Structure 1
Amino acid sequence: MKSKGKSRFFYTFISILFGLIFGSIILKISGTSPIEAYKVIFKGIFGKPSYIAWTMINAVPIILTGISVAFAFNTGLFNIGAEGQYIVGSIGAILAGYLLELPPIIHPIVALLAGALCGGIWGGIVGFLKSRFNVNEVISSIMMNWIGFYLSNYLLSFSFLRKPASDNSFTIRPTASIEILKEWKVSKEGLAFLKEHAFLKQFLRPNVNWGFIIAIAMAFLIWYILKKTTLGYQLKAVGFNKDAAEYAGIDIKRNQIISMTIAGALSGLAGAITVLGVAGNIGMMATQEGYGFDGMAVSLIAGNNPLGCILAGLLYAGLMYGGGKLTILGTYSEIINIVIGVIILFIAMPRILDLIYDKVSRNKKKDGAKDE
């Protein structure tokens, strides 16, 4: 554990291992074989092409909200408002996707940008309150979560957006969808082709969309901004030491607003992708789906590394999706939440792992001295 990167990888690996061991104990107490349970989870992720597709689909919003939280954290801010930004992002996407009439390629781009813009504004408000009035971003972002949630409730009370006798909004126009090969899958040519390719047929059965590609692109973009650009340097400098950054001539207030605006745009983009790629045939519902809070867990598992959020998001989504199939064994699927909770607990307390590592190292040295 000489380098920071190796140390973070070690902590993450050991934390995941501890989470699985602790989950095994709980499963054993509940009368379920841990080996059988983890087999069910594994098969629930990789057993069918459609399972893999659903894992990837479910990973997209928490990868993006995880990147959002990680980005803000790297700049010295704690974005606990990713959930509210996700909600207003979905509002922006549904308004652009349903109300606007645009060509097929342009329409989804505009709708995605609308969602990102709404999320960016929502996050920017938090950044403005922080920079102008020194309002703690944790408090203000929590309040913005609820404002975003009740704003979605309020908008769905209008007849121009809400389906009659329904709790959902109208669905987006087909031209706004980002689902991959949506029309082709049900066409005569598509059905004939998929009939001969079983894997692809099952993989495309869920609402596979461009969201996963977008999430990966955003991870690399944010990594590049933080590591390779002047803006990233300034944002990180403000996060590390505001006084030193101010002494160096960096505008702290401006950078705080920019940081939260970018973080909010990422979460808003997550909401837009869900509306345009997954819920296109259902519409938007006034509900909190928890993706913003899941993103905080993903960011922690990833060590607040934007690229790490890709793998952490896939792990989180896989455990949640595969864990939902534990009911096959007659046990509770909520056990997987315990596993994830233990993983996050140990990652959030690296000092405990340091103590364990030091203790093991000292014991090895003592054993080696005795042998000599």
Structure 2
Amino acid sequence: MKKTDRETGPSTGESGVILRDQYEHAGATDLVLDDGLVLELTRRYAPGARAVDSVDETGGEARAYMVAAAEGRLVVKTQRPHRRRVRTSLEREALFLRHQAALAGNPLPVPRVLGHGRATVPAKGAAGGQVDAEIEYTVMTRVPGDAMQRVPIDGAARRAALGELGAVLRRVHGASQEPLLSSGLFPGDRAPGDLRLRLEAPAMEAARKLSATPAAALLPESPEALVRRAVEELPEDTTRVALHSNPSAMHTFVDPDNGAFTGLIDFGDAYLSHPALDLRRWDRHADRVAVLEGYRRAGPVDAVFMRVWRVACLLAELTALAAAPADAGGAKERATVIQSLMKERA
């Protein structure tokens, strides 16, 4: 397997940070399984599977077949061969979810893995025709509700849902990490300085783009100087845990009728780094604050955690500003958030 930038094995002690995606099999056939095959795979773990209701491809790298079964609403998840990348792993996701299922206390609102495996199957390619190929798949339960990105909620209901998400992330991060670390399946921070590398490289790229736009004048110093000053505050060596990676509106589920939080899906991009990074993935800073509040209600955090969280949020705001510098109203709001976070650090 060709390695991506700075991606190494878990035993080397070198950096395991993946800075950019590489799709190793971009020319591979995009396999589409017929309903009969999906039901055959599902029945290996859920004999009561009856019908394939729909297919979801919104995740890009995965194809999810929604299955009606006597055991409940199920999902058969496969990776699309031409979109396979080091960052994503169904095997890693299955291990991570099974680890969470074994935690003491109330069950976490995440998918429950019924089975994971590989099979050689006949399938049709997206362009037609029959092919035989090996697929990897996971059969899991389906979290009720719908993704927040498709459910318009705001105000107190939104803050409550995000607070519940924060509490779930706190339990995920607080679980024993040894079985995950020893599995060898999780890429991520392995050497001192990896956290800085992970945050500084993409932020500096965004800063250079922002410097070429009028929006840079909204900041009290150059974007590049701001990034350099921010990452100087990061600790050299930190706590690392298995992160969800992207617990955002796409993967956070709520009840469409009342906005209540129902669960978190898609752990296939999990990686090892500082836990604060899982709290930065929302576009609005007010949403990040709501997630943090729920996280802190579920358990205390120390000053280092808060420092990493502030730096990560500041760089997220700068990156978003660089992506849409012509949005005058949005640019001013983001610049205000950046300056506020800078004052908190002072």
User: What TM-score results when the alignment is normalised by the length of structure 1?
Assistant: 0.22
Task: State the structure with bigger RCO (CA 8 A, min sep 6), 1 or 2.
Answer: 1
More strand by share: 2
More helix by share: 1
User: What TM-score results when the alignment is normalised by the length of structure 2?
Assistant: 0.23
Query: Considering only CA atoms, is the larger Rg found in Structure 1 or Structure 2?
Result: 1
